[in-house]
Structure 1
Amino acid sequence: MNSIYYNSCPLCGSSLIHEALTAKDYTVSGETFGIWHCGGCSGRFTQNIPANDKIGRYYQSQEYISHSETKQGLINRLYHSVRKITLRSKQNWVRASSGIKQGSLLDIGCGTGAFLHYMQTGGWNVTGLEPDENARKNAKSIYNIEPLPIDQLFSLPAASFDAITMWHVLEHVHELHHYLERIRVLLKPGGALLIAVPNYTSSDADHYGQHWAAYDVPRHLYHFSPASMEKLLLSHQIRVEKKHPMVFDGFYVSLLSEKYKTGKSRLVAGFFNGLRSYRKGLKNVEKCSSIVYECKL
């Protein structure tokens, strides 16, 4: 089978599903995909997604920053300029949620290893998993870090990590429920799980609609609301203890969305829409473009 069609919600299993909108792949293929809404959990998902062994070609782009570290174009340069701030925030969240300053960390979908490198320099024992071979090679050449292939998730020893992180990864995972079950096995008692995903109920998603860059079809298989994330995690006996806003994501996503919507790099319009998202996210985390879910078993 080359594509997957869902008759029920892949997040909660409900049959109360319907098409909500269609979105275009602006990064690689130019193809359009339906995005369906679930009345049972309020989550959304991309319909007719490429099968796991077919989706690789949709990641083959130099513009895919988490795999290539590209600094081409103003938007990607801006991404790099704020990354040090976001890396520090991630480190602080890991320390606070795990209750320790140094320990063992697993980063699933580590890309080129920037976060792993940052945590390693802070004294953490780090392990990375990454499905893309080129990203693994870049991690070695840039940071001298050697991520493992993603299938090693199911070979790592149980109860071996103080913290597990997934930064904008869960929305990409075909075997969603298997991954969450495996994470439960790999966390030490009292360990912390931090998951960052885009929020389709954010103010910037409302503004841009089908042009919202964080739909990123077909690479993003699922599109989470805060309610759907909490329901999904609870179904695996994982509880959300805190939610944190990823305040800079609104700027990056709005700049890309403006380009997708108008065909032009309208920096001023993108910046002000990002600023609006930033302000709303500070007031209400559930309106932020991306949310970090801090979790415990």
Structure 2
Amino acid sequence: MEDPIIYSKDYLVSGEEYRLEKWKHYDILKTEPVPNNLSAYYESEDYISHTDASKSFTDKIYNIVKAYMLQKKVGWILKEKSAGKLLDIGSGTGDFLNAASRYFKVDGVEPSEVAREKAEKKNLQLKKELSEISDQYDVITMWHVLEHVPNLDHQIEEFHRLLNDDGILVIAVPNFKSKDAEIYKEHWAAYDVPRHLWHFSKKGIQALFLENGFQLFNSTGLKFDSFYVSMLSEKHRSGQQNLFSAFLNGLKSNLAGANTGEYSSMVYFFKKTLK
């Protein structure tokens, strides 16, 4: 029996519908078709990952949680690496790098000129492309970025090039096997097509990286994400915020995740499998 195709809509910019199809033999979905002018789909004031705005109620919650989670993320890394060089790919406006710079020598890559300019005001000089980086690092991080990259195979090759043999790779992505994804189905905000080209499960990302020279050694859930994603999903589904319903569904997702290990978003920690 063939895997069912999920159809999801771009609620942010175009209103267009896209297919989510199984990719190769992995438990990973790929967005089809991929628009030729993908950068145009990021041109929205509501796309807040590259802004520091606090206009709406949702933005305010996002930024409060972001400040708390920055310290959590750094703490998770410090349990594995207490010093060294850190590269953040997809740095946005640079808040994570600023938090990490207390402990690591940091570099960052960010393709958005607007985001790089905002990071520069925070005394961070970000590179535009990964090809500009030639150093090797003790820690490489990608916080909700891997789902955006056009070529997964090339990206993994770059991880090998840039990561020290005893370094760690930290990747956070949404998890389409979470309870909130099951509840909201095609309205699940973390599908975010066509900006999200890839949709990962825990099983899928672990298998992909193992076949490409990386061993998963730890993972954890980003528990606040279920509430944020549920708020957006409620609006996609009904046109209303429905904060109470969003809170209940976010809570359901985290309770289910506590049993299954499948949270709305996951952070994965990898090491190279050295021969």
Q: State the partner residue of 1:290.
A: 265
Query: What are the superposed Cα offsets for residues 143-198 of structure 1, whole Å, 9 maximum, x if unpaired?
Result: 22121102xx224225x211000000000000211111111111112101000010
User: Aligned ranges for residues 1-297 of structure 1 at < 5 Å?
Assistant: 20-38=5-23, 40-51=25-36, 54-98=37-81, 100=82, 102-120=83-101, 122-141=102-121, 143-150=122-129, 153-158=130-135, 160-285=136-261, 287-297=262-272
Distance between the aligned counterparts of 2:107 and 2:40, measured in 1? Answer: 26
Following TM superposition, by how much is the alpha carbon of 1:277 offset from its aligned partner in structure 2, in angstroms? Answer: 1.3
Is the CA contact 1:87–1:115 (under 8 Å) kept in the aligned structure 2?
yes
Which one-letter code corresponds to 2:160 in the other structure? R
- Runs of 5+ unmatched residues, structure 1: 1-15
Which one-letter code corresponds to 2:65 in the other structure? V
Following TM superposition, by how much is the alpha carbon of 1:19 offset from its aligned partner in structure 2, in angstroms? Answer: 5.2
| Secondary structure of the structure 2 residue equivalent to 1:177 | helix
Distance between the aligned counterparts of 2:100 and 2:2, measured in 1? Answer: 41
Which one-letter code corresponds to 2:45 in the other structure? Q
Q: State the partner residue of 1:7.
A: none
Q: Could you list the runs of 4 or more consecutive aligned residues of structure 1 that deviate by over 6 angstroms after TM superposition?
A: none
| Secondary structure of the structure 2 residue equivalent to 1:29 | coil
Distance between the aligned counterparts of 2:35 and 2:4, measured in 1? Answer: 18
- Runs of 5+ unmatched residues, structure 2: none
Query: What are the superposed Cα offsets for residues 110-138 of structure 1, whole Å, 9 maximum, x if unpaired?
Result: 11111001111x23211110111111111
Is the CA contact 1:113–1:139 (under 8 Å) kept in the aligned structure 2?
yes
Distance between the aligned counterparts of 1:187 and 1:38, measured in 2? Answer: 26
Distance between the aligned counterparts of 2:52 and 2:211, measured in 1? Answer: 35
What root-mean-square deviation, in Å, do the aligned CA atoms of Structure 1 and Structure 2 show? Answer: 1.6
| Secondary structure of the structure 2 residue equivalent to 1:137 | helix
Which one-letter code corresponds to 2:88 in the other structure? D
Which one-letter code corresponds to 1:134 in the other structure? V
Q: State the partner residue of 1:9.
A: none
Following TM superposition, by how much is the alpha carbon of 1:34 offset from its aligned partner in structure 2, in angstroms? Answer: 1.0
Is the CA contact 1:62–1:70 (under 8 Å) kept in the aligned structure 2?
no
Q: Out of 231-240 and 67-76, give the one that drifted further.
A: 67-76
Distance between the aligned counterparts of 1:214 and 1:163, measured in 2? Answer: 26
| Secondary structure of the structure 2 residue equivalent to 1:257 | helix
Percent identity (aligned): 40
Distance between the aligned counterparts of 2:215 and 2:2, measured in 1? Answer: 25
Is the CA contact 1:97–1:294 (under 8 Å) kept in the aligned structure 2?
no
Following TM superposition, by how much is the alpha carbon of 1:38 offset from its aligned partner in structure 2, in angstroms? Answer: 4.3
CA 1:38 to 1:166, structure 2 compared with 1: closer, same or farther past 3 Å? same
Is the CA contact 1:18–1:38 (under 8 Å) kept in the aligned structure 2?
no
Query: What are the superposed Cα offsets for residues 226-253 of structure 1, whole Å, 9 maximum, x if unpaired?
Result: 1110111112101111111111100100
Is the CA contact 1:116–1:128 (under 8 Å) kept in the aligned structure 2?
yes
TM-score if structure 1 supplies the norm length? 0.88
Following TM superposition, by how much is the alpha carbon of 1:89 offset from its aligned partner in structure 2, in angstroms? Answer: 1.4
CA 1:48 to 1:93, structure 2 compared with 1: closer, same or farther past 3 Å? same
Distance between the aligned counterparts of 1:95 and 1:125, measured in 2? Answer: 13
Which one-letter code corresponds to 1:146 in the other structure? Q
Following TM superposition, by how much is the alpha carbon of 1:73 offset from its aligned partner in structure 2, in angstroms? Answer: 1.5
